[in-house]
Amino acid sequence: MTAQQQVFDTDVAVVGAGITGLTAAHHLARQGFGVVVAEADTRAGGAIGTTRAGGFLIEHGPNSLLDTNPSLHQLFGELGLAEHMVYASYQARNRYIVRDNRLHALPMSPPALIRSRLLSRRGKLRLLAEPLVRRAPADAEETLAEFVERRLGREFLDYAIDAFVAGVYAGVPHRLSVRDAFPKLHRLEERYGGVFKGAILGRRERRRSGQQAKQSARMFSFREGLQTLVDALAAERGAALRLGHRLTRLERHGSGYRLEFATAGGRQDLSARVVLMAIPAHGYPQVQSELDLDQARQSLARIEAPPVSMVFLGYRQQPAGHALDGFGFLIPTCEHRRILGTLFSSSLFPDRAPAGGAALTTFVGGMRQPELAGQSDEDLLALVRHDLADLLQITAPPDEVVIRRWQRAIPQYQIGHRALMAALEQTEARHPGLFLHGNFRGGISVGDCIEQSGHIAARLGAHLRPT
Ligand SMILES: Cc1cc2nc3c(=O)[nH]c(=O)nc-3n(C[C@H](O)[C@H](O)[C@H](O)COP(=O)(O)OP(=O)(O)OC[C@H]3O[C@@H](n4cnc5c(N)ncnc54)[C@H](O)[C@@H]3O)c2cc1C
């Protein structure tokens, strides 16, 4: 039977209805392809999930996106979501970092840096020497810690970067690859010879391409939280969404693929011309196959993703203590605390708490202290309240508590990540029409996943419609 004669249930089977799978499905449906999205869970969204309780709005996974790329606006425009977007409040510019048990505002300008007590005089002088530091050899594989210490000094690493990495990756800088985890930072040195020089010169190029640097990009969400985005994508008629469909087997089927799903009603089969796997790296061992996927499976199994627990505390009245006038705070490892940091959720976006109240979202665990994420609810609550009492002087009991555990929260792009991704490309090359994507490839943020999904849809489209 030729490829032309073979009949498939659908052009594209997308496995996994997280933001990667849903966005790719959206683009493919708009290109006119038949798309089925199969999701193991009974809800779509994967890591993204918003609930309401007692008048509070609770984000269980990601809290915000950065307005870095025009492709985000294009997607929101297509989904009719532009008017639902909310930008972070003006006061959210204040970001705090803990040093010596006190919150210090992260300096956002050179004069603020000079005044700041976050870094010592010596640490500040070391920053000034950055333009004199030589470039690393082109083939150097450095950790983020090695890169930052070499270019910006130990104190900046300990008090700025370490805390930042806990906030973004729930990671630690001596395990992440600078080239893979922070490609834009790495490129500043590679391309311009230094971080400060690159930040200045790169601005002009970004302006031309409509891109925005992460450090200056505005932060946003939607009035009803990030679930709004998932719901809009899931409600689209172009792609058929099948919830409660866990992929258990993937096999070749003529020129395409056959997929077997476990559902509440028993086994369901689907044939597709192409398959986009958009499940997390740790989901692959549960999928059986006679296809030669060993190389990809071994690579994906090597990607570490630590557990993280989210502890949400809601207060009907603003509790006595810190003014909560900012984005929140992050804690460097050297401060020896048990929480990673806290978002001042009700200061960040409107309507996250009843009028006059407050909402705090704290993260525990990560690569730094994975064992803490697995504690009982009672212990997690106690340790969060202890650290918030110390750092924010908030001792009032919360009116609402929500705890969400992520067993494998965020994939860590460590040294060697590039080689693991090359192995995925080789697997894809051996299996035309099979694509392996997700937040382990091309960036972990929701914005990165959305941007990648555009590229993925273009690749799939080119495969389905060869010139
Ligand atoms: C606690 C936390 C906080 C975060 N904070 C932020 C933030 O503030 N900003 C930001 O930009 N990013 C943040 N991130 C990162 C970001 O949310 C994720 O990287 C991104 O949402 C991942 O999307 P994805 O579609 O690739 O994967 P996922 O969201 O993991 O989706 C994969 C889907 O595949 C499904 N699946 C798995 N196995 C199967 C199977 N066999 N068959 C069918 N379906 C299957 C899963 O059920 C899931 O729905 C955070 C992540 C976490 C966990």
pLDDT digits (tens, 9 = 90+) for 403-436: 999 999 999 999 999 999 999 999 999 999 999 9
Amino acid identity, position 3: A
pLDDT at 304 over 70: yes
Closest to 409 in 3D by CA, of 309, 279, 331: 309
Structure confidence at residue 108 (pLDDT)? 84
In a domain, 284, yes or no: yes
Structure confidence at residue 210 (pLDDT)? 64
Counting from 1 in the atom list of ligand 1, the atom nearest the Cα of 66 is 11
Counting from 1 in the atom list of ligand 1, the atom nearest the Cα of 246 is 42
Closest to 48 in 3D by CA, of 449, 330, 353: 449
Counting from 1 in the atom list of ligand 1, the atom nearest the Cα of 279 is 34
In a domain, 72, yes or no: no
What is the pairing mode between strands 56-59 and 256-263?
Answer: unpaired
Structure confidence at residue 369 (pLDDT)? 98
Last residue of one domain, picked from the residues 192, 213, 234:
213
Question: What is the mean pLDDT of the segment spanning 288-299?
Answer: 96
Question: What is the mean pLDDT of the segment spanning 33-38?
Answer: 98
**Ligand 1: centre distance to CA 158 (Å):** 29
pLDDT at 216 over 90: no
Identify any residues that bridge with 17 across adjacent strands, giving them in sequence order: none
Structure confidence at residue 106 (pLDDT)? 92
In a domain, 332, yes or no: yes
In a domain, 80, yes or no: no
Residue nearest to atom 14 of ligand 1 (CA): 62
Residue nearest to atom 30 of ligand 1 (CA): 46
CATH number at residue 442: 3.50.50.60
pLDDT at 165 over 90: yes
Residue nearest to atom 34 of ligand 1 (CA): 16
Domain co-membership, 299 together with 310: no
**Ligand 1: centre distance to CA 338 (Å):** 25
Domain co-membership, 135 together with 201: yes
How many CB atoms neighbour CB 139 within 10 A?
5
Question: What is the mean pLDDT of the segment spanning 324-332?
Answer: 97
Structure confidence at residue 224 (pLDDT)? 97
Structure confidence at residue 217 (pLDDT)? 85
Q: Tell me the pLDDT tens digit for each residue of 174-203.
A: 999 999 999 999 999 999 999 988 888 877
pLDDT at 2 over 80: no
Q: Where are the beta strands (DSSP E) in 64-162?
A: 65-66, 85-87, 95-99, 102-105
Average confidence score pLDDT of the chain: 94
Q: For residues 221 and 65, give the distance between their C-alpha atoms in angstroms, rounded to a whole number.
A: 6
Structure confidence at residue 102 (pLDDT)? 96
Question: What is the mean pLDDT of the segment spanning 124-144?
Answer: 92
Structure confidence at residue 69 (pLDDT)? 85
Question: What is the mean pLDDT of the segment spanning 107-121?
Answer: 88
Counting from 1 in the atom list of ligand 1, the atom nearest the Cα of 65 is 11
Structure confidence at residue 105 (pLDDT)? 93
Structure confidence at residue 204 (pLDDT)? 73
In a domain, 34, yes or no: yes
Domain co-membership, 299 together with 418: yes
| Per-state percent for the chain, helix, strand, coil, to nearest 5 | 40, 20, 40
Closest to 77 in 3D by CA, of 247, 232, 253: 232
Pair 167, 66: CB distance under 8 Å: no
Structure confidence at residue 467 (pLDDT)? 61
Q: For residues 51 and 226, give the distance between their C-alpha atoms in angstroms, rounded to a whole number.
A: 10
pLDDT tier at 127 (50, 70, 90 boundaries)? very high
Domain co-membership, 396 together with 353: yes
Pair 99, 118: CB distance under 8 Å: yes
Domain co-membership, 240 together with 323: no
Domain co-membership, 123 together with 266: no
In a domain, 123, yes or no: yes
**Ligand 1: centre distance to CA 138 (Å):** 33
CATH number at residue 158: 1.10.3110.10
Last residue of one domain, picked from the residues 213, 240, 275:
213
Q: Does ligand 1 come within 6 angstroms of the Cβ of 233?
A: no
pLDDT tier at 215 (50, 70, 90 boundaries)? low
**Ligand 1: centre distance to CA 212 (Å):** 24
Structure confidence at residue 373 (pLDDT)? 98
Token code pair at residue 415:
């040294």
Counting from 1 in the atom list of ligand 1, the atom nearest the Cα of 20 is 25
**Ligand 1: centre distance to CA 62 (Å):** 9
Token code pair at residue 368:
């730094």
In a domain, 293, yes or no: yes
Q: Does ligand 1 come within 6 angstroms of the Cβ of 287?
A: yes
Domain co-membership, 402 together with 420: no
In a domain, 363, yes or no: yes
Mutate to test the pocket of ligand 1, among 42, 279, 282, 406 (most ligand atoms within 8 A of CB): 279
Q: Which residues span the domain enclosing 318?
A: 306-406
Domain co-membership, 287 together with 316: no
Q: For residues 447 and 384, give the distance between their C-alpha atoms in angstroms, rounded to a whole number.
A: 29
Amino acid identity, position 382: A
Domain co-membership, 202 together with 319: no
Structure confidence at residue 212 (pLDDT)? 65
Counting from 1 in the atom list of ligand 1, the atom nearest the Cα of 440 is 26
Q: Of 64-73, 377-386, 406-415, where does mean pLDDT reach its minimum?
A: 64-73
Domain co-membership, 177 together with 133: yes
Domain co-membership, 299 together with 316: no
Structure confidence at residue 232 (pLDDT)? 97
Q: How many domains does the chain have?
A: 3
pLDDT tier at 213 (50, 70, 90 boundaries)? low
Domain co-membership, 203 together with 238: no
Structure confidence at residue 138 (pLDDT)? 83
Last residue of one domain, picked from the residues 387, 406, 425:
406
Q: What are the C-alpha distances in Å from 461 to residues 2, 353, 432?
A: 20, 44, 13
pLDDT at 1 over 70: no
Q: Does ligand 1 come within 6 angstroms of the Cβ of 41?
A: yes
Q: Tell me the pLDDT tens digit for each residue of 247-283.
A: 999 999 999 999 999 999 999 999 999 999 999 999 9
**Ligand 1: centre distance to CA 258 (Å):** 25
**Ligand 1: centre distance to CA 278 (Å):** 9
Residue nearest to atom 49 of ligand 1 (CA): 46
Counting from 1 in the atom list of ligand 1, the atom nearest the Cα of 446 is 11
pLDDT at 211 over 70: no
